[in-house]
Amino acid sequence: MYIVDSHCDSIQKVDSRRYGIVNPYNYSQKHQQLQFVANFCGWPGEDAERSYRRAMRYIGLFKIRMEAEADKVEQVYTYADIERVFAAGKHAALMSVEGATGIMGSREIFREFYAAGVRVFGMTWQSNDLCASTKLPEGVEDYGLTDTGREIIDEGNKLGMIFDVSHMSDKSFWDVAPLVKKPLVATHSNFRSVCGASRNLTDDMAREIIRQDGMIGLNLTFISDDHDAQTLDSYLAQLEYGLSLGGEDHIGFGGDIDGIRGYPKPLTTERSLHDQIIEYMLSHNYSEELVRKVAGENYLNFLKKYL
């Protein structure tokens, strides 16, 4: 069995100088794992230049940790890299971006990110000059994708970038959906019909991602409207709903590990969160075939075609 998680904010922990990329709770102790490591460049209250500097620092830290942890993990750029790293018995790390305020609307800076190894690109966390997010300032209408955002999508299509719609506003999602050359991914989103948070996907959004042959990474938060009562049973309810929409081959893990406060009970950070979820699914009568798909096979099949 292989594990893929499409959203982890580990680099922010690295920045605190207390953690590595691979930690006991965020990578499996039983299976080889590919982690999408998100470089955050849209911090609240930062101007675009400061967000750019933050992103450059995070990319530098990521590269440093790849050298320091080379016995355990390697950066990957292509699917062939993933196969090579797994064959060597190591974990893999793929760079992504979350909240792209820091590219300052520049095609040149966007290309710099791609050259550094970013292959999955989330344009917004807070609303910016590329598109609106679910975090719209009070009184501001959902303005969707901007002309600058369209330029970045055009450049990304030329480079082969995969675009991430998690955190996009509803209008932004539907503006972006017909423009991308590769299928959309929602790296860390759940379903709004089960939990009404605006961060989650509507049924029509989920169906569009599935229609495009894209992927939905289930988040470990925004799983229940009663946030204080979130459990792995709530998480499995999200999975069940995604399956009902036809998502069996299009759902994976997108935990937002290190990006949220607290994990659904009975998860603990004393050991791998992913191992615990897999054990819980198997103990609750999910077939090994389905568990393998959700744990990693679906994402690996997607990346084999589109990375």
Residue 193 has pLDDT above 90, yes or no: yes
Report the C-alpha gap between 227 and 264 in whole angstroms: 9
**What is the average pLDDT across 39-51?**
88
The H or E element spanning position 101 is none
CA Rg, the chain, in Å? 18
Residue 205 has pLDDT above 80, yes or no: yes
Which conformational region is residue 141 in: left (phi greater than 0), alpha (psi within -120 to 50 degrees), or beta?
Answer: beta
**What is the average pLDDT across 8-17?**
88
Residue 228 has pLDDT above 80, yes or no: no
Domains of the chain: 2-306 (3.20.20.140)
Opening angle at CA 19, ends 16 and 25, nearest 5: 130
Contact 230, 224 (CB under 8 A): yes
Report the C-alpha gap between 261 and 70 in whole angstroms: 29
Residues whose CB is less than 8 angstroms from the CB of residue 67 and which lie 6 or more positions away in sequence, other chains included: none
Which of helix, strand or coil describes residue 58?
helix
First to last CA, the chain: 20
Residue 227 has pLDDT above 80, yes or no: no
Report the C-alpha gap between 187 and 192 in whole angstroms: 15
What pTM, to 2 d.p., does this model score? 0.96
Token pair of 120, please? Answer: 């999955």
Nearest to 125 by CA among 51, 21, 222, 221: 51
Query: pLDDT, tens digit, for every residue of 65-88?
Result: 999 999 999 999 999 999 999 999
DSSP-derived secondary structure letter, 228: G
- pLDDT interval class at 6 (50, 70, 90): very high
**What is the average pLDDT across 179-189?**
98
What's the mean pLDDT when you consider all of the chain? 95
Contact 276, 152 (CB under 8 A): no
Query: pLDDT, tens digit, for every residue of 275-300?
Result: 999 999 999 999 999 999 999 999 99
